[in-house]
Structure 1
Amino acid sequence: MKNHKYGAKADDILLFTHVVEAGSFSKVAEEMELSNSVVSKRIARLEQALNAQLLYRSTRKLSLTDAGIVLYQKSRQAKLAIQEAEDAVTGYGDKIRGNIKITMPVVSARFILNDTISKFCASYPDVSVELSAENRCVDIIKEGFDLAIRTAHLEDSSLIARRLIDSQWIICASPKYITEHGTPEHPEDLSDHDCLVYKYEGAGLDHWALKRGQEDLQIHVKGTITGNELEALKQAALNGLGVAYLPRVLIHEDLLSGRLISVMDEHVGKRLGIYAVYPRTRLPDLRIKLLVEFIREAFVSKKEYFY
């Protein structure tokens, strides 16, 4: 490819950013009222100007080359800066508008946030929300998310976080399991029990965070069922298949009804913060601040489910 005489055009770079986020030329063409051929030609013009291939094109999907990844990370920041400049002006008016791309854990989405986001969009009809519910730890900068809800011990210094609420975890089992296998009372007792192990991306070894007095413990556990879906482990516990270590929010109703019984309460050592997280590369605009506040109020209104 030859370098374009005048370099890459800014509007072509922004168009490229839209294509990456939409995942197809046709979607962008429809949104921007352009033809597919015009979008394709402008991306080709950008690649020629930069002397680099940015996208791999197939009949099913688009994927980024290494050069495309670098450009997207930078161009998205430029797009956000433009959006923030617009927000600085439109914020003086009555309208709150724009799109928010958000990721969150499945449990949070099912229990509280789906309804919260629906109410938020009803309150601000000119704001759209693109929601992704998944348990993996998403790279929100690389994948272009504006906001993430995370239940974790946060260590990433490239992210800014606002604590929303704490999530207490509970060791539990069904009455059937306890009748057949007895009640574990001490951390060491777990070696004699079938534990339902939650394994997720980056989780490492099968250890449960427990405590004895002021001492923090990491107890190795094992069992016949291991999975990355908390709802499935909860169902296994309800069916009497083992001892589970689950967030209270997931089993609150089951504890009240007696379908599950908490055990070893004095040894539970897992209490995680739930955070609203966004990249340091952008300041949270009014839309994101309003959504975060909606989410925080939703959590606090049901705090008895969490701890």
Structure 2
Amino acid sequence: MKKNPNRRLKEWRVFFKIVELQSISLAAKALCIEVSTASKALSILEEALGIKLIDRSTRSLEITHAGLVAYERMKELTQEIDSFLNEFMERRNNLDEELTISAPAILCDGLLIDWITSFQNTHKKTSFYLHSIKCYDNFKNKNYNLSIRLNNVEDKHLICEKLSNIELIMCASKEYIEKHGIISHPKELYSHETFMLWDNEGKGILRLKNGDEEFIYTPKRRQFQTSDILSQFNLMLKGSGIAVLTPEWLAIGHLNSGNIVQLLPQWKASDMPVYITWKHSKFYPNLLIEFVRFIQNACNNS
């Protein structure tokens, strides 16, 4: 069975160079390939077409009439393909599209803003529309191109990939510590006002580990719980109590300035996973593909 010559662009390019230089060996040298490779490429084309493109002898080669016709037509078509590919790549490198993204407020105010502004430094014509949502908002029926989430989504209509983990720490304001004292064990949390994240299953339970030792903390009913990390963080900053689950990157500036104090650093809570979600489609906008790749690289390099 003859192979389709339309799928042999690599071999056509070798053929063009042979015609232009009137030599297989010179063409191979110009293309930085072996002479045998160039000769094989020519043979593959001739076999696929079922015609002789070049008459070869030990001393010279001669382009056949069919070879000249093939050269003129395919050279023109190949140039059009090259022009299209160059234009396509230029559009990819100079994106002028827009993207609608949803994310929890804690990510909108921090990591996501940094990602978007950094991306736009390279792709200045892009537009982003950022929607702040609840931590576990339903994405399926919303008109978002992308959603950054704090929970995994198992839905055949959606693609959900894990980006990274956010390290969580426990902290309190300097004023709160001066008034109520430092704590040395998680059981002492019951003597303090604590602010917890309320997860998507409605279970306000905190598991802490220190080596092989584990402590499960269930806050008192009267204490404040929320799905909004910023709310608990701001309450902590005001000296109202202890924020038991705070993203380290959110607290780092205040820790360095001495405004807040990290508590029980040897006791670790499970990290908070961050996922990126988008809808299944046969075709995706270039901007979506490039931005997903960008933030995946940003997470891998952080």
Same fold (TM over 0.5): yes
1:143-197 deviation per Cα after TM superposition (whole angstroms, max 9, x unaligned): 1322111233x25243323333320010111232223323232232222221013
> For residue 271 of structure 1, what is the aligned residue in structure 2?
271
> For residue 92 of structure 1, what is the aligned residue in structure 2?
88
After superposition, residues 68-217 of structure 1 pair within 5 angstroms as 92-95=88-91, 96-121=95-120, 123-125=122-124, 127-152=126-151, 154-158=152-156, 159-199=158-198, 202-214=200-212, 217=215
Distance change in 2, residues 1:91/1:263 (3 Å):
farther
Contact 1:112/1:298 (CA < 8 Å) preserved in 2?
no
> Aligned partners of 1:138, 1:91: CA distance in 2, in Å?
39
Distance change in 2, residues 1:162/1:224 (3 Å):
closer
Q: Over aligned residues, Cα RMSD in angstroms? A: 3.1
> Aligned partners of 1:282, 1:264: CA distance in 2, in Å?
49
Question: 3-state SS of the aligned residue for 2:88?
Answer: coil
Contact 1:165/1:299 (CA < 8 Å) preserved in 2?
yes
Cα deviation for residue 231 of structure 1 reads 2.3
1:178-228 deviation per Cα after TM superposition (whole angstroms, max 9, x unaligned): 23323232232222221013336x351322232243466542013544444
Contact 1:102/1:148 (CA < 8 Å) preserved in 2?
yes
Contact 2:101/2:128 (CA < 8 Å) preserved in 1?
yes
> Aligned partners of 2:251, 2:179: CA distance in 1, in Å?
21
> Aligned partners of 1:139, 1:111: CA distance in 2, in Å?
22
Q: What amino acid is aligned across from residue 109 of structure 2 in structure 1?
A: R
Q: Structure 2 regions of 5+ residues with no counterpart?
A: 1-83
> For residue 49 of structure 1, what is the aligned residue in structure 2?
none
Cα deviation for residue 296 of structure 1 reads 3.7
For the pair shown, which has the larger CA radius of gyration, 1 or 2?
A: 2
> For residue 231 of structure 1, what is the aligned residue in structure 2?
230
Contact 2:204/2:225 (CA < 8 Å) preserved in 1?
no
Contact 1:140/1:146 (CA < 8 Å) preserved in 2?
no
Distance change in 2, residues 1:274/1:228 (3 Å):
closer
TM-score (norm 1): 0.59
Cα deviation for residue 114 of structure 1 reads 2.4
1:118-167 deviation per Cα after TM superposition (whole angstroms, max 9, x unaligned): 44346435543222122342322211322111233x25243323333320
Cα deviation for residue 284 of structure 1 reads 4.8
Question: 3-state SS of the aligned residue for 1:171?
Answer: strand
Question: 3-state SS of the aligned residue for 2:147?
Answer: strand
> For residue 255 of structure 1, what is the aligned residue in structure 2?
255
TM-score (norm 2): 0.60
Contact 1:112/1:299 (CA < 8 Å) preserved in 2?
no
> Aligned partners of 1:164, 1:234: CA distance in 2, in Å?
23
Distance change in 2, residues 1:113/1:276 (3 Å):
same
Cα deviation for residue 270 of structure 1 reads 2.4
> Aligned partners of 2:87, 2:190: CA distance in 1, in Å?
58
Q: What amino acid is aligned across from residue 233 of structure 1 in structure 2?
A: Q
> For residue 240 of structure 2, what is the aligned residue in structure 1?
241
> For residue 29 of structure 1, what is the aligned residue in structure 2?
none
Give me the identity figure in percent. Answer: 22
